[in-house]
Amino acid sequence: MGLYHSTRSRDITCTAKQAIRRGIADDGGLFVSDALGDVTIDIETLADKGYHELAREVLAALLPDYTADEIAACVAEAYTGTFASTEVTPLVPLAKAPGADGAPTFVLELFDGPTSAFKDVALQMLPRLMARTGDAGTTDERIMIVTATSGDTGKAALAGFADAPGCGITVFYPEGKVSRVQNLQMSTQEGANVAVCGVRGNFDDAQSAVKRIFADRELAARLAEHGVMLSSANSINVGRLVPQVVYYFAAYAQLLRAGAIQAGDAVEFCVPTGNFGDILAGYYARRMGLPVSRLVVASDKNNVLFDFLTTGTYDRDRPFYTTTSPSMDILISSNLERLLYYAADGDCELVADLMERLANEGAYAVPDDMLARIREVFGCGWADEDEVAAAIRRCWDDNAYVIDPHTACGYHVLEQLPAAPGTAARVLLSTASPYKFPRAVAGALGLFCPPDDFACMDVLAKATGTTPPAQLAELQEKPVLHTDVVDIDAMSAYVENATSRL
């Protein structure tokens, strides 16, 4: 039965529940299962299935040790009353296909959840999955979730885990490198079990430090004495990845219902990418039988994935740019390790070697045949800051549809790349509400931007006839509860201190 093990070794296997509880393998690798693709989802009957039913099917296939009742309960709790649309992830047609080639194009809106970014889809689910892992460990053990965020994971994780029984959560964000709205979303978070802290450094520094905290055996031993275990809500956790697979099927089901495609037609997905979690879920969906012509990685100016997919060399030694799409300002794309594992046909030694090179030398190169296999499935493109602004503007002019700067990277890439052969429809994953980034979006539309971001929201609302999500507009009235800022070196002690309050 679909056991999980590290991408870097098969020595230790565990159940899906244990993989979710632990977050990351002891050797620093990510949990993967060789059963991926053994269970497929029936495409012929997709059109008849709503989001909840699809979610139950996909979760059951990938998390085989959860009972049907457990999965049904998780799905009902995560997706009832939490998302604005009954579709959970609604699909919206664009009036004019971006670029010259005319394949009908749709936007999959993933931002209707409580924090207005796509991460809600997974982070409304993860705490529910985590709460049912108890039989995998000692019963009174408590979990401290430790997460580094480039902007959106933090708030979505806080919203999911605040006051969750048996759990605490500590979130680190790069100080000064998230948008004002993102910052306020986190610093106003209520809950007795939450800690939010700025870090002097960028996201990669914070993420690397969090990985070191997880690998610190002495710290783990000290915490274990107090009955606490660390876990991760970052997209390296299997429990983050699996719920994201669902919306690829949900998009296809909606295309079928709209009559835009016939069952079996191939669809191309374009995904604004940072840590490679969202798009990797598309790869899982493809392995599970979804007809996907190509998965297109859309990067911002931090185009390390574009370079990797075009040359086969991953090199993180490069300038880091702070852009208007902060959640994609990432140079170490953690989930790529899972793709490497599958593209190497499960060669753990090769993956371990590549990851060691990345850690020690800052770069690695994959064998040519492996790159070729990856490129059969993945396309790529990227947008610089001017192109992002132009894409927001053109999307509005052509479709009267407002997109955020992350989604705009994808829009730009769709304009640049012709559709893959055999593509019946293209789907752009929209990862955030434009109101999370009102200044960048209003600026791109040529609107006057007052100094205050909330005034920018009003300007954007009036000019486009759209409405800011209530949970963002009300942030300006909320008291700031978290003001801590630490150096990278102090993160470990910060976690230990937060844990002592659990």
Ligand X SMILES: *Cc1c(COP(=O)(O)O)cnc(C)c1O
What residues act catalytically?
119
For ligand X, the closer CB: 28 or 272: 272
Rounded CA-CA distance 140/113 in Å is: 31
Q: Which member of 113, 201, 277, 410 binds ligand X (CB under 6 A)?
A: 277
For ligand X, the closer CB: 181 or 228: 181
Label each residue of 407-435 as H, E or C: HHHHHHHHHHCCCCCCEEEEEEEECECHH
Q: Which stretch binds ligand X (CB under 6 A): 32-40, 260-268, 273-281, 416-424?
A: 273-281
Least Å from the CB of residue 179 to ligand X: 10
When asked if residue 412 is in the footprint of ligand X (CB under 6 A), the reply is no
CA angle, 39 as apex, 297 and 426 as ends, to 5°? 30
When asked if residue 431 is in the footprint of ligand X (CB under 6 A), the reply is yes
When asked if residue 274 is in the footprint of ligand X (CB under 6 A), the reply is yes
Where would I find the beta strands (DSSP E) of 264-385?
A: 266-272, 292-299, 313-315, 363-365, 378-382
When asked if residue 272 is in the footprint of ligand X (CB under 6 A), the reply is yes
Rounded CA-CA distance 434/440 in Å is: 9
Least Å from the CB of residue 484 to ligand X: 23
When asked if residue 119 is in the footprint of ligand X (CB under 6 A), the reply is yes
Label each residue of 53-84 as H, E or C: HHHHHHHHHHCCCCCHHHHHHHHHHHHCCCCC
Do the beta carbons of residue 382 and residue 409 sit within 8 Å?
yes
When asked if residue 303 is in the footprint of ligand X (CB under 6 A), the reply is no
| Cα-trace Rg, the chain | 21
When asked if residue 105 is in the footprint of ligand X (CB under 6 A), the reply is no
For ligand X, the closer CB: 407 or 499: 407
Q: How many residues bind ligand X (CB under 6 A)?
A: 16
When asked if residue 432 is in the footprint of ligand X (CB under 6 A), the reply is yes
Q: Which stretch binds ligand X (CB under 6 A): 84-92, 134-142, 266-274, 372-380?
A: 266-274
Least Å from the CB of residue 269 to ligand X: 13
Least Å from the CB of residue 330 to ligand X: 7
Rounded CA-CA distance 178/160 in Å is: 20
When asked if residue 152 is in the footprint of ligand X (CB under 6 A), the reply is yes
The helices-and-strands tally (H runs, E runs) of the chain is 21, 16
- End-to-end alpha-carbon separation of the chain, Å? 35
Q: Which stretch binds ligand X (CB under 6 A): 26-34, 270-278, 339-347, 380-388?
A: 270-278
Least Å from the CB of residue 352 to ligand X: 23
Do the beta carbons of residue 462 and residue 456 sit within 8 Å?
no
Q: Which member of 87, 120, 205, 278 binds ligand X (CB under 6 A)?
A: 278
Whose CA is closest to 116, among 88, 86, 152, 148?
A: 152
Do the beta carbons of residue 271 and residue 299 sit within 8 Å?
no
When asked if residue 469 is in the footprint of ligand X (CB under 6 A), the reply is no
Strand partners, 379: 296
Q: Which member of 193, 273, 323, 499 binds ligand X (CB under 6 A)?
A: 273
Count Cβ atoms below 10 Å from residue 400 Cβ, excluding itself.
Answer: 12
Q: Which stretch binds ligand X (CB under 6 A): 93-101, 212-220, 268-276, 315-323?
A: 268-276
For ligand X, the closer CB: 63 or 328: 328
Whose CA is closest to 60, among 48, 50, 49, 69?
A: 69
Least Å from the CB of residue 305 to ligand X: 9
Least Å from the CB of residue 275 to ligand X: 3
Residues that bind ligand X (CB under 6 A): 117, 119, 152, 235, 272-278, 327-328, 406, 431-432
